[in-house]
């Protein structure tokens, strides 16, 4: 055994040990229950980052743990290889995206291997290879024929200078990232997946996923956004816009219909366009053009200043027939609902803001709480004074406007009436809308109804009149997958002048993406390659043009989990092995994928199910969403510009209590400014290269630190000092094994010769106590592993190590020997000692596999720790006669009490009252009551 812990040697040896034996090759014929453990595959950006290390370590810990628990584990790995960064790299360094991607994969694969991950590399998938994407194209053609994929126009970011479509990421402050020109919205034809057809199933399916975090399910529920409401038709005079003379809106608040004071349409709405056409002035056309400015990202649209313009046109209120103005508003989204809303400023935030800005009327029609009370009082006072409220005026003018004139018209209003009006006016919130449900007021026949009654009554009326109906609505939109980019999977469609859009026939698949191209940054290279796009129509044989758009890279990542089951299948997307491995038992990935990727993959699973390719409704049984890795930032200011400095080049000074007081750049000793702790990113230069950590301390240390520093679902703050702490711990374990090699051997012999554990009753109290603590720690660790809280598992290992160091086997007193005899005392002690160390090694092995494998083998526990059974708690070891209780007075800790474990409550109360500290607190008085929590505490209440 090496005297000094040298991670480099032992890690290479351990990895070879597993390589030679093909340990991680997963087969379908093991006879054990399967466990498919999948970590989200990386985009091959060039180098592994800390987020990857965290993700794959979590996956590997779960894989190794389950393997030792007796499962047939499959842990695959692959590359999400298509995407924008490859094209950016091509522009910056003049390398073809394919070559750049393949060389990145080569490097990152070596890095992953050095982490010691138990991956079945025979199942490796690379999405930019035709063997993979041909099946995606195959499925596309099936779905196109079924109508699940269709074509329509949609808005994209357009850079007018570079004449190219931009990703949201490439739009910075409303301008193109390269040209700097203001971005516009442009409508282009695109292919869409009809995901909305599966909206209800995607929603309901969430209820069948108890192994998913609640927060992810909630986010998906809200994203799908099923709402119940009404569509309502507002008649107008614009017959020419093809809407049958009706403006259709959708609302979840039909109860507020009587409070609608205007309607608003999106700039792209046909009515807006029509209004601009017939208007004599250019204002409307200019405003619509202005709305075209800026990108398409929802966050930008939603934070924009609310702007609008009156079209000069009107609709009729479907109940009152009143004329309501039609406005064009930039806060109305064409993509949601009908691209038009009825505006109820009194009861909607955005409508209120808009109405206030443009001085549109506000009509209160919902009252609740005190407002409702004072309104009823006011109505009653009018009646008492013998006046009649003009309901019609009230309904058209709104309460506030009506009341402000009505008092003037009354000849002799009573004091009580004036007071009631003032009281009401004070309650009426004029500065903010009331968006809560309540009772309808000033709503004609509907006054007095609650939300549900009004909802039903109004929708019934609208249905009867042909002016609307109840309907539910999803926020989810169909998934547009066309990208005007090169480095992606070609869309397998041929455009024929006679036959239209024709899917590429199976025998012509795959449509191979040419790998030698010139990237210019303006437009798609494929559209400039006749050798790619010139073809013939598969149906009529005439000359035709191949589609040059590629697919959203989310399409590849939506089904890769299924391909891992049969990565080499040349006859279909998947084969019968998918039935064996799916669903994925544990999926692990970043929380940033909570919505899009996970929703698309669930959708794809259902598409594949409906094609008869896979079974079951959901692809991922259990989900673990890991938090991000963050690190401190440092910078210097130079002419107002921040120059970010990497944490690795900075020394932080602290005061004598460890508080940071300043930082200097190591190179020149000059001061740098300490910034916030942020997500590791190139832009803040605060990334820590995992390779440097692995090279210096070894993979086990990197893995141990990353698992110890935070629970997996929380964000993790990087700390170099913490890494050293992790290394120190592993060194301690190594040194301990070295120092007590002989004792451990002796103990292992005792474990071997005692098939049934030694007679523990012959052991000393000290040994029994030691063993109880060991098994208590094991119990805690096993509990935490079930919770997937790995940081406290590491903590348990450290405690176990501390415990071992303070309970060395040579410490047997002469009294013990006299009582029990030397052989049995020693034997029990050695047994407990070696058992404890074997528990430590096994608990630690999923996290730090190399050092534990090496020690397991060298100490003679066995040949391969992965084949050792997972340690289970010996419940008998936990038993004890005495327990410690806490004594509280009024909930405050005042003392402890050791009692026999079966002491009854009455006795406990007596002991507590007799306790010195309790006596002192009581000062001779008697307690009001005593609360006894069995096994925990006694609280004396005075």
Which residues, 6 or more positions from 446, have their beta carbon under 8 angstroms from its beta carbon? Answer: 255, 258, 440, 454, 457, 458
Question: Within 478-517, which residues bind RNA (CB under 7 A)?
Answer: 479-480, 482-485
Instruction: Output Rg (C-alpha) for the chain, integer angstroms.
Output: 36
Q: Is there a contact between 503 and 493 (Cβ–Cβ < 8 Å)?
A: yes
Which of 770, 563, 660 has the alpha carbon at shortest distance from 138?
A: 563
Q: CB-based burial of residue 107 (10 Å sphere; 0-12 exposed, 13-18 middle, 19+ buried)?
A: middle
Nearer to RNA, 612 or 676 (CB): 676
Nearer to RNA, 798 or 828 (CB): 798
Site for RNA contains 580 (CB under 7 A): no
Concatenated DSSP letters for 759-798? -GGGS-HHHHHHHHHHHHHHHHHHHHHHTT-HHHHHHHHH
Q: Is there a contact between 135 and 604 (Cβ–Cβ < 8 Å)?
A: no
Nearer to RNA, 596 or 650 (CB): 596
Question: Within 365-424, which residues bind RNA (CB under 7 A)?
Answer: none
Q: Given candidates 469, 787, 901, 910, which one binds RNA under the rule CB under 7 A?
A: 787
Is the preceding omega at residue 598 within 30 degrees of 0, hence cis? no
Question: Within 820-849, which residues bind RNA (CB under 7 A)?
Answer: none
Contact region with RNA (CB under 7 A), list: 247-255, 379-387, 853-861, 886-894: 886-894
Site for RNA contains 201 (CB under 7 A): no
Nearer to RNA, 20 or 661 (CB): 661
Nearer to RNA, 52 or 826 (CB): 52
To RNA, the closest distance from the beta carbon of 791 in angstroms equals 5
To RNA, the closest distance from the beta carbon of 923 in angstroms equals 13
Nearer to RNA, 776 or 817 (CB): 776
To RNA, the closest distance from the beta carbon of 67 in angstroms equals 25
Token pair 């990208």: residue: 483
Site for RNA contains 798 (CB under 7 A): yes
Nearer to RNA, 453 or 743 (CB): 743
Site for RNA contains 795 (CB under 7 A): yes
User: Tokens representing 880?
Assistant: 């004890």
Cα 899 to Cα 886: distance, rounded to the nearest angstrom:
11
User: Tokens representing 140?
Assistant: 């596309």
Site for RNA contains 905 (CB under 7 A): no
Q: Is there a contact between 564 and 123 (Cβ–Cβ < 8 Å)?
A: yes
To RNA, the closest distance from the beta carbon of 809 in angstroms equals 17
Q: Is there a contact between 139 and 611 (Cβ–Cβ < 8 Å)?
A: yes
Question: Within 534-553, which residues bind RNA (CB under 7 A)?
Answer: 552-553
Q: Given candidates 659, 682, 761, 765, which one binds RNA under the rule CB under 7 A?
A: 659
Q: Is there a contact between 345 and 354 (Cβ–Cβ < 8 Å)?
A: yes
Torsional class of 30: left (φ above 0), alpha (ψ -120 to 50), beta (otherwise): alpha
Which of 265, 272, 302, 296 has the alpha carbon at shortest distance from 286?
A: 272
To RNA, the closest distance from the beta carbon of 78 in angstroms equals 11
User: Tokens representing 601?
Assistant: 């993959």
Q: Given candidates 708, 740, 770, 831, which one binds RNA under the rule CB under 7 A?
A: 708
Token pair 């191209």: residue: 517
Question: Within 303-322, which residues bind RNA (CB under 7 A)?
Answer: 303
Site for RNA contains 662 (CB under 7 A): no
To RNA, the closest distance from the beta carbon of 396 in angstroms equals 30
Site for RNA contains 222 (CB under 7 A): yes
Cα 529 to Cα 545: distance, rounded to the nearest angstrom:
11
Site for RNA contains 594 (CB under 7 A): yes
Nearer to RNA, 210 or 386 (CB): 210
To RNA, the closest distance from the beta carbon of 718 in angstroms equals 9
Q: Given candidates 3, 612, 640, 658, which one binds RNA under the rule CB under 7 A?
A: 658
Q: Given candidates 90, 149, 591, 836, which one binds RNA under the rule CB under 7 A?
A: 591
Question: Within 62-101, which residues bind RNA (CB under 7 A)?
Answer: 80, 82-85
Q: Given candidates 463, 654, 754, 819, which one binds RNA under the rule CB under 7 A?
A: 654
Site for RNA contains 894 (CB under 7 A): yes
Question: Within 757-786, which residues bind RNA (CB under 7 A)?
Answer: 784
Site for RNA contains 46 (CB under 7 A): no
Q: Given candidates 568, 805, 863, 879, which one binds RNA under the rule CB under 7 A?
A: 805
Question: Residue 558's CB: how many other CB atoms inside 10 A?
Answer: 26
To RNA, the closest distance from the beta carbon of 910 in angstroms equals 18
Site for RNA contains 715 (CB under 7 A): yes
Q: Given candidates 674, 768, 917, 922, which one binds RNA under the rule CB under 7 A?
A: 917
Is the preceding omega at residue 510 within 30 degrees of 0, hence cis? yes
To RNA, the closest distance from the beta carbon of 593 in angstroms equals 6
Nearer to RNA, 380 or 893 (CB): 893
Q: Is there a contact between 224 and 203 (Cβ–Cβ < 8 Å)?
A: yes
Cα 260 to Cα 344: distance, rounded to the nearest angstrom:
4
Cα 930 to Cα 942: distance, rounded to the nearest angstrom:
9
Nearer to RNA, 566 or 701 (CB): 701
Token pair 């070596």: residue: 110
Q: Is there a contact between 158 and 183 (Cβ–Cβ < 8 Å)?
A: yes
Site for RNA contains 941 (CB under 7 A): yes
Contact region with RNA (CB under 7 A), list: 320-328, 667-675, 763-771, 934-942: 934-942
Site for RNA contains 732 (CB under 7 A): yes
To RNA, the closest distance from the beta carbon of 79 in angstroms equals 9
Contact region with RNA (CB under 7 A), list: 59-67, 95-103, 391-399, 928-936: 928-936
To RNA, the closest distance from the beta carbon of 131 in angstroms equals 19
Nearer to RNA, 114 or 939 (CB): 939
Start-end of H helices in 179-278? 199-205, 214-224, 270-278
Contact region with RNA (CB under 7 A), list: 20-28, 298-306, 319-327, 455-463: 298-306
Site for RNA contains 628 (CB under 7 A): yes
Binding-site size, RNA (CB under 7 A)? 107
Nearer to RNA, 53 or 258 (CB): 53
To RNA, the closest distance from the beta carbon of 302 in angstroms equals 3
Exposure string for 413-446, b = 16+ CB within 10 A, e = fewer: beeebeebbebbeebbeeeebbeebbbbbbbeeb
Concatenated DSSP letters for 337-383? TTSEEEE-GGG-HHHHHHHHHHT------EE-HHHHHHHHHHHHHHH
Which of 247, 284, 264, 268 has the alpha carbon at shortest distance from 327?
A: 264
User: Tokens representing 76?
Assistant: 């695959």
Which of 766, 838, 854 has the alpha carbon at shortest distance from 806?
A: 766
DSSP reduced 3-state for 942: coil
Question: Within 344-363, which residues bind RNA (CB under 7 A)?
Answer: 349
Site for RNA contains 593 (CB under 7 A): yes
Nearer to RNA, 47 or 475 (CB): 475
Nearer to RNA, 500 or 660 (CB): 660
Question: Residue 573's CB: how many other CB atoms inside 10 A?
Answer: 21
Question: Within 664-683, which residues bind RNA (CB under 7 A)?
Answer: 676, 678-679
Binding mask 159-178 for RNA (x = CB under 7 A): ------xxxxxx--------
Question: Within 133-162, which residues bind RNA (CB under 7 A)?
Answer: 156-157
Q: Could you tell me how many helices (H) and strands (E) the chain has, helices first?
A: 32, 37
Question: Within 459-478, which residues bind RNA (CB under 7 A)?
Answer: 475-477
């Amino acid at each position: 055994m090496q005297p000094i812990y040298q991670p480099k040697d032992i890690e290479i040896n351990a990895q070879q040990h597993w390589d030679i034996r093909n340990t991680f090759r997963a087969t379908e014929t093991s006879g054990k229950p399967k466990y498919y453990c999948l970590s989200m595959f990386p985009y091959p950006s060039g180098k592994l980052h800390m987020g990857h290390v965290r993700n794959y370590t979590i996956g590997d810990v779960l894989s190794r743990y389950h393997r030792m628990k007796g499962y047939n584990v499959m842990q695959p790995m692959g590359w999400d290889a298509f995407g924008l960064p490859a094209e950016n790299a091509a522009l910056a360094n003049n390398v073809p995206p394919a070559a750049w991607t393949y060389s990145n994969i080569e490097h990152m694969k070596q890095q992953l291997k050095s982490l010691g991950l138990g991956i079945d590399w025979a199942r490796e998938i690379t999405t930019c290879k035709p063997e993979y994407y041909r099946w995606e194209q195959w499925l596309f053609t099936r779905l196109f024929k079924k109508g699940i994929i269709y074509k329509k126009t949609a808005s994209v970011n357009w850079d007018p200078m570079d004449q190219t479509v931009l990703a949201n990421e490439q739009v910075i402050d409303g301008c193109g990232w390269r040209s700097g020109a203001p971005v516009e919205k442009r409508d282009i034809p695109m292919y869409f997946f009809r995901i909305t057809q599966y909206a209800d199933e995607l929603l309901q399916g969430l209820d069948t996923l108890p192994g998913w975090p609640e927060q992810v399910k909630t986010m998906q529920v809200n994203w799908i956004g099923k709402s119940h409401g009404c569509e309502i038709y507002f008649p107008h005079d614009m017959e020419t816009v093809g809407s049958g003379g009706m403006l259709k809106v959708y609302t979840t608040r039909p109860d507020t219909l009587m409070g609608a004071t205007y309607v608003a349409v999106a700039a792209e709405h046909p009515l807006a366009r029509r209004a601009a056409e017939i208007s004599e002035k250019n204002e409307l056309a200019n405003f619509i053009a202005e709305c075209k400015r800026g990108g398409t990202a929802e966050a930008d649209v939603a934070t924009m200043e609310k702007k609008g313009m009156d079209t000069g046109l009107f609709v009729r209120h479907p109940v009152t027939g009143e004329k309501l103005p039609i406005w064009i508003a930039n806060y109305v989204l064409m993509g949601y609902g009908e691209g038009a809303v009825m505006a109820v400023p009194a009861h909607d935030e955005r409508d209120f803001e808009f109405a206030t800005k443009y001085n549109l009327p506000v009509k209160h029609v919902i009252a609740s709480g005190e407002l409702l009370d004072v309104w009823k009082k006011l109505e009653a006072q009018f009646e008492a004074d013998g006046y009649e409220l003009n309901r019609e005026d009230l309904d058209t003018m709104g309460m506030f406007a009506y009341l402000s004139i009505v008092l003037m018209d009354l000849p002799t209003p009573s004091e009580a009436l004036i007071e009631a009006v003032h009281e009401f006016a004070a309650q009426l919130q004029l500065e903010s809308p009331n968006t809560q449900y309540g009772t309808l007021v000033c709503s004609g026949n509907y006054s007095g109804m609650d939300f549900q009654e009004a909802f039903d009554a109004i929708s019934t009326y609208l249905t009867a009149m042909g002016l609307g109906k109840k309907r539910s609505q999803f926020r989810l939109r169909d998934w547009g997958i066309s990208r005007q980019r090169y480095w992606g999977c070609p869309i397998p469609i041929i455009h024929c002048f006679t036959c239209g859009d024709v899917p590429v026939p199976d025998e012509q698949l795959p449509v191979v993406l040419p790998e030698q191209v010139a990237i210019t940054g303006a437009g798609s290279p494929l559209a400039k390659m006749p050798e790619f796009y010139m073809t013939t129509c598969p149906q009529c044989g005439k000359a035709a043009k191949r589609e040059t758009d590629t697919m959203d890279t989310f399409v590849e990542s939506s089904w890769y989990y299924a391909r891992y089951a049969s990565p080499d299948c040349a006859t279909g997307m998947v084969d019968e092995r998918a039935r064996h491995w799916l669903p994925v038992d544990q999926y692990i990935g970043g929380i940033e994928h909570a919505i899009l990727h996970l929703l698309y993959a669930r959708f794809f699973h259902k598409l594949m199910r409906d094609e008869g390719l896979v079974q079951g409704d959901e692809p991922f049984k259990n989900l673990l969403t890991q938090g991000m890795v963050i690190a401190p930032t440092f910078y210097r200011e130079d002419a107002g510009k921040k120059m970010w400095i990497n944490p690795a080049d900075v020394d932080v000074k602290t005061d004598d209590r460890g508080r940071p007081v300043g930082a200097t750049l190591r190179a020149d000793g000059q001061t740098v400014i300490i910034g916030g702790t942020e997500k590791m990113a190139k832009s803040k230069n605060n990334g820590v290269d995992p390779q440097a950590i692995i090279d210096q301390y070894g993979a086990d240390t990197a893995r141990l630190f990353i698992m110890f520093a935070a629970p997996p679902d929380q964000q993790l703050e990087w700390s170099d000092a913490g890494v050293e702490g992790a290394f120190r711990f592993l060194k301690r374990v190594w040194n301990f094994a070295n120092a007590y090699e002989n004792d451990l051997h002796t103990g292992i012999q005792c474990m071997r010769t005692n098939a049934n554990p030694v007679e523990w009753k012959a052991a000393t109290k000290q040994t029994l106590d030691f063993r109880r603590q060991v098994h208590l720690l094991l119990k805690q660790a096993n509990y935490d592993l079930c919770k997937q809280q790995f940081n406290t598992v590491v903590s348990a290992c450290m405690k176990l190590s501390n415990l071992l160091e303070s309970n060395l086997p040579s410490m047997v007193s002469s009294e013990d020997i006299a009582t029990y005899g030397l052989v049995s005392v020693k034997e029990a002690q050695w047994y407990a000692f070696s058992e404890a160390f074997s528990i430590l090694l096994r608990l630690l092995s999923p996290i730090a596999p190399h050092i534990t494998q090496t020690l397991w083998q060298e100490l003679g526990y066995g040949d391969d720790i992965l084949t050792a059974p997972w340690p289970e708690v010996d419940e008998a070891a936990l038993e004890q006669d005495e327990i410690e209780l806490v004594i509280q007075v009024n909930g405050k800790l005042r003392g402890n009490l050791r009692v026999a474990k079966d002491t009854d409550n009455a006795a406990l109360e007596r002991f507590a009252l007799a306790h010195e500290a309790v006596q002192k607190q009581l000062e001779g008085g008697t307690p009001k009551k005593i609360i006894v929590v069995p096994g925990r505490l006694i609280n004396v209440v005075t």
